Chains A and B, each alone.
Chain A
Amino acid sequence: QLQLVESGGGVAQPGRSLRLSCVASGFSFSAYTMHWVRQAPGKGLEWVSVTSSDGSNKYYADSVKGRFTISRDNSKNTLYLQMNSLRREDTAVYYCARDHAPSITPQSFFAPWGQGTLVIVSS
């Protein structure tokens, strides 16, 4: 069945870095656009970043632009999120989610989602 499993979360000090991974199974990973979405504790969802199926197109939320980098390794069925210069407000559960198409389009929607990995930024 379709499955996405995130890992790499943990505690990091402000200004430090973390790299999240999302391993996909049960579908042809290289055929789909992939997203990262986050949710601060007790708060709502926030879209973070997207990459097209071949990794050639990438976009970021203004709140993470210049600090976070999305990438993918289609040979390993894995999506990544490199998070640098972490801030306390980056504390959240980070979800990866599949889109329905190979390219980034206005019609995007997110299904399925992984179970999430918790990132805590604290000194």
Chain B
Amino acid sequence: QSALTQPASVSGSPGQSITISCTGTSSDVGGYKYVSWYQQHPGKAPKLVIYEVSLRPSGVSNRFSGSKSGNTASLTISGLQAEDEADYYCTSYTGSSTLYVFGTGTKVTVL
């Protein structure tokens, strides 16, 4: 099971919106409505920011939103803030022997 493909880096200025893509196949991202996204600051544990493609956990800013089209899921961060600078990972159920697969990760830089 190969890792989902994410851009290595995305950057934006404060206040701007950015979108991170997560591309898989019809066997994972395209086959299920179960993509989640995690934010990880350096040296810290990951934190859930989006689950089931577009749902936001309690306590997560509404500046984070998710969507999916075909085999590609997306995370959008609007009104970019300095605190959003972190690594972001998507993950999907695969239905194969390795049940879940993560994306390659995207480093978000706030300019």
Q: Which residues of A contact B (CB under 8 A)?
A: 35, 37, 44-47, 50, 59-63, 65, 95, 100, 104, 106-116
Contacts and interface: CB of A to CB of B under 8 A. Distances in A.
Contacts of B89: 44-45
Nearest to A6: B45
A45 B51 CA distance: 17
A47 B91 contact: yes
Interface of B: 1, 3, 32, 34, 36, 38, 40, 45-48, 51-52, 57, 89, 91, 93, 95, 97-105
A50 B99 contact: yes
Contacts of B51: 100, 109, 111
B34 A113 contact: no
B102 A116 contact: no
Contact of A113 (B46, B91, B102): B46
A62 B34 contact: no
B38 A45 contact: yes
For the complex of A and B, 5 pairs with smallest distance between CB atoms: A111-B48, A106-B93, A113-B45, A109-B36, A109-B51
